[in-house]
Structure 1
Amino acid sequence: MNRPLQSAPDVDALAALRAATSARHERLDGGLPLSGPAPDLHDYATHLTMVRDWLAPLQVWLDGFGDGPQQALPAVGRLELIDADLDEPGMPPVRAPSGPHAWPRDASAAYRWGVAYVVEGSQLGGKVLYGKLSERLAPHPLRYLRGADEGPGPRWRAFMLALKQHVKSPDEIADACAGACAAFDSILRLSKLPA
């Protein structure tokens, strides 16, 4: 008996991104300076410096394109929040920034959507860390972890809707997964964790 041909199910970009990065995400979460049992301001300063080393070249790279995720959502001053936190009285001195990672100049928009998935998702984790550390590290305002007053939820939902609209085909999803994995590998190298 011949079976009718079934079309391939729609591939969900978000599900593919989560699957492609889950092991990297677990390694990073377990090895961040703030994941220890009793993080202090030195750990926060180390965390901020690492995130800044990762985010600054990424932001310059993303800003160099006229299409993609940076066009879908309003800009957020993440680097300014990091700098304000590092300049807060009582913050310990930290190491000098490391050399920037070179991002591909010819990256597709889908690849950049994957990178942006990691950047935007980091804000969700930041909000969780803020809840755990705000009392412990008071009176430091933890601006970077706190983020927007309304929390990261509305921006994350807007990002997910835009991702779904712009990353649809299997090739685009594969490119997005490659970009997300590269973003995780970049910060894993900065954190001295295996990629």
Structure 2
Amino acid sequence: MNRPHDPTSGMDALAALRAATSERHERLDSGLPLSGPAPDLNDYAQHLTLVRDWLAPLQAWLDGFADGPQIVLPAVERLALIDADLAEPGMPAPRTAALSDPLPLDASAAYRWGVAYVIEGSQLGGKVLYGKLAEPLAPHPLRYLRGADEGPGPRWRAFMLALKEHVKSPDEIADACAGACAAFDSILGLSVDKSA
């Protein structure tokens, strides 16, 4: 059943997620600490802290479920990469914040696929930032932005295939869009807090 006034109705999961989150994605990209013309190590530390403050509770929340996206792909130690980068010599002391709105404990698997879409997609942007910042921020290894040696492409393709397999019905797609929007809103809320 199509939902009235739902701009994502009739789309597959990936197209619907892109449409539902595009405005949030643009706002986030323009407001991140690394979005300035010449980011430095302080900006990278702020970026890492923002992502850690956002990712740690989301990962703990996802780990509390026995089904859904967190069991389809192998785990990635993103928090360990962030912590290693923050521990590098010369990195400024990070400031931390907490997510203000916890995610629902009874969320559907489709909702969690939407949250995972934002987490997995963030790695694609990280690889672009790595290419831009590796030389200016050397010798910092930028582990979090660099990610896996093979890059984020293979994992992203596997994620997209799994998403299409597990999120099909209009209700599932709507739930996935709600989860993705909630994930974006949580990091947008933190980025506003950080700039204060």
Q: TM-score range by the shorter chain?
A: over 0.9
Structure 1: segments with no counterpart, 5+ residues: 1-8
Deviation of residue 98 (structure 1)? 1.4
Deviation of residue 10 (structure 1)? 5.8
CA-atom RMSD, angstroms?
1.2
Q: How does 1:10-159 map to 2 (within 5 A)?
A: 11-95=11-95, 97-100=96-99, 101-159=101-159
1:170 aligns with 170
2:29 and 2:35 in contact (8 A); partners too: yes
Task: State the one-letter code of the partner of 1:157.
Answer: R
Which TM-score applies when normalising by structure 2? 0.92
Which TM-score applies when normalising by structure 1? 0.92
Question: Identity over the aligned pairs, expressed in percent?
Answer: 83
Deviation of residue 94 (structure 1)? 1.9
Instruction: List per-residue Cα deviations over 1:152-185 (Å, max 9, x = no partner).
Output: 0000000000000000000000000000000000
How far apart in 1 are the matches of 2:98 and 2:29?
23
SS of the counterpart of 2:185? helix
Runs of 4+ in 1 over 6 A off after TM superposition: none
SS of the counterpart of 1:192? helix
Instruction: List per-residue Cα deviations over 1:39-93 (Å, max 9, x = no partner).
Output: 0000000000000000000000000000000011000000000000000011111
Structure 2: segments with no counterpart, 5+ residues: 1-8
How far apart in 2 are the matches of 1:106 and 1:84?
33
Task: State the one-letter code of the partner of 2:98.
Answer: G
Deviation of residue 99 (structure 1)? 2.3
How far apart in 2 are the matches of 1:14 and 1:29?
19
Who wins on radius of gyration, i.e. which is larger?
1
